[in-house]
A and B are shown apart, each in its own frame.
Chain A
Amino acid sequence: MPEPAVAPSGSRAGSPAGRIVWRLRFALLFAVLAVLPYLLSYSQQEIAVLLVINVLLVSSYRLLTLTGEWSLGHVVIMGVGAYASALLAKRLGVPVPFSMLIGGCMAAATAAILSFPLFRMKGFYFLIGSFAAGEIIRLIWKRFTDPFGGPKGLKRIDAFPNIDTGFLSIDFYEPVNYYFLALIIVSISLFILYRIERSRIGLTFHAIHWQDRLAESIGVDTFRYRTLAFVIASFFAGIAGGLYAHYVGTVNPTRFGVDQMVYVLVWAIVGGTATFHGPILGVIVLTVINEIVLRGLGLDTARPLIYGAILILSVLYLPDGLESLGPKLRAWLQRRRRGPATAGGEAA
């Protein structure tokens, strides 16, 4: 897998000037994100909403991979959040924003329970164990029609309540408005995920990934930290599930199947999991390729084939993901610019 993300090396925005540049970049990014939906058609706006939700999904997945474990159950965990939030709103009348939060907590609780059997395993065994656990949950949704609606799933899930306070009224049925709602929630979540990664806890995750025996020998309880990563990742996946359920209005077991998990894997791997922005880059680039190129050219049936080919090519030729392209390109340019000089220096 991708080479070590060396423990995050301090803050990149060390100097005051650097900090201003970073703030400017963020301001620019948010300006683009704020203008973006108005440049898109209605159906593209809907895709933008799903893209924002998927950014949270894949970023939360990355937190789990920090400890070195690759789960195949993450999308099912997202589904736990979606089902929980939908059922709470439908059956018990819990107001939607709270049901989402509780849905996230349910996903986290599921992860906490699953971690006892799962973290007795490592590597392949963990991969297959998480796959089995996810499939069991999915089959339970399929089998038990009573709360879960069986193979057809849940329909007519309550939408996010509209805000109407006389002078301000926001209808979240409109994709643009839901886009901003999702953007705010996802931005906050990403900020938290980022802070966690840069904290002492995040450093410990890295340590467990690359040197688990060594970490244990200095008193790190690797089981607890693995569980912690799993629980936090699952909480945010559950939130993503809630955002999805109350936007689309239906959830069913197929929606959280292995195929969807494969897409998450592809995003993470094509983007590269060594840095925080890698998977986000992956999901954005592949979604844009998917929507613009494939749908535009009418290649919808060929979509899995192209995804498969991209996955294989990136594992073979770009094992560190798209994120490694930037530094590689920069190094190559620098070599070219300084080419003759360095060659001369070495000769001397």
Chain B
Amino acid sequence: MDLLWQTAINAMYAASYMALIAVGLVMIFGVMGVINFAHGELYMAGAYCVVFLYAQEKFPFLVGVAAGLIFVGAIGLLMERGLFRPLRKNPLGGLIASIGFLLILQTLAVFGFGRRMGHVPPPTQGKIEIFGAILTYQRLFVIVAAILLLAALWAFLKRSKFGWALRACAQDAEAASLQGISMNQTARIAMFIGAALAGVAGALTAPLVSPTPYIGHSIIVTAFIIIIVGGIGSLEGAVIAAVLYAFVHTFVTTFFDGVIANIVGLALMFAVLVVRPTGLFGARERA
């Protein structure tokens, strides 16, 4: 029973940061119609912000997280301007260009920090016990931060004018621009938020995962599984699928092993693609 409860808590933690990553990916897809293959590397860049500022330069942990948010958001803006805007008519080209960008980010991380794992000492050592299961403050912090960020994003999208415009572009870019919504402006905001969410997720989890320049690969595979299962254009679906996937993956890892868990996850995605390509919560397919 203790093991079950502990595994559930681990799954909650995994779900929280995966949801941040997947929601960012879905936002970028929603507005620009392009799958950002470099999203895992944006996570990696966020993690290395913490490695650099917090572990090496001894700034407070939160400074590293804030830097991760802004720096990775800025990378997102760069990608929007340099890659996705010129390739807006060519979504497959955008995807392939993002693969090229992924290689560049990876190599830059190798140049800057070497291939080995970056070690990040945990900012807090404390932990609480809930019904016999242990939850470290660091993990609790990730969960709380993820919930707050997603709530803020939700409020932003539902209440503000930008959020209105963002959703309009996601539904029908042409009609939106006929209403006077600037496609470029909206794409910039979506790209900034999407990238920054991945960066924050990387920064928050850096003390827990020991980042390497190649960590993005497993992240992007996970993110793909989540957005496919959740429905490729649906933000709510991404959050629900993140929770679902995190629980399945964590439980299978605990009771079998990690590779089997990855196979189960991929098989889950494959099954969804075959049976219901629009995902469990997706609306009808984008044209």
Which A residues have a C-beta under 8 Å from some C-beta of B? 1, 70, 117, 120-121, 123-125, 127-129, 131-133, 135-136, 139-140, 142-143, 258, 262, 265-266, 269, 301-305, 307-312, 315-316, 319
Contacts and interface: CB of A to CB of B under 8 A. Distances in A.
Contact of B269 (A132, A308, A311): A132
Interface of B: 35, 83, 86-87, 90-93, 95-97, 99-104, 106-108, 110-111, 217, 221, 224-225, 228, 232, 257, 259-260, 262-263, 266-267, 269-270, 273-274, 277
Given A136-B266, A308-B102, A1 B92 contact: yes
Given A117-B273, A311-B100, A316 B266 contact: no
Report whether over half of chain B's contact residues are helix, strand or loop; otherwise say mixed: helix
B107 A124 contact: no
A319 B111 contact: no
A262 B221 CA distance: 15
Nearest to B34: A124
B110 A301 contact: yes
Contact of A1 (B90, B104, B262): B90
Given A140-B263, A319-B93, 4 more contacts: A124-B95, A315-B96, A315-B100, A316-B97
Given A120-B274, A132-B269, A305-B104, A312 B263 contact: no
Given A128-B224, A132-B269, A311 B217 contact: no
Contacts, number: 109
Contacts of B97: 311-312, 315-316
B104 A309 contact: yes
Contacts of B101: 308, 312
A316 B269 CA distance: 31
Contacts of A135: 221, 262, 266
A262 B270 contact: no
Contacts of B273: 117, 120-121, 125, 128-129, 132
**B103, B111, B221 pick with most chain A CB within 10 angstroms:** B103
A290 to B, nearest CB: 13
A197 to B, nearest CB: 21
Contact of A121 (B95, B217, B277): B277
Contact of B96 (A133, A136, A258, A269): A269
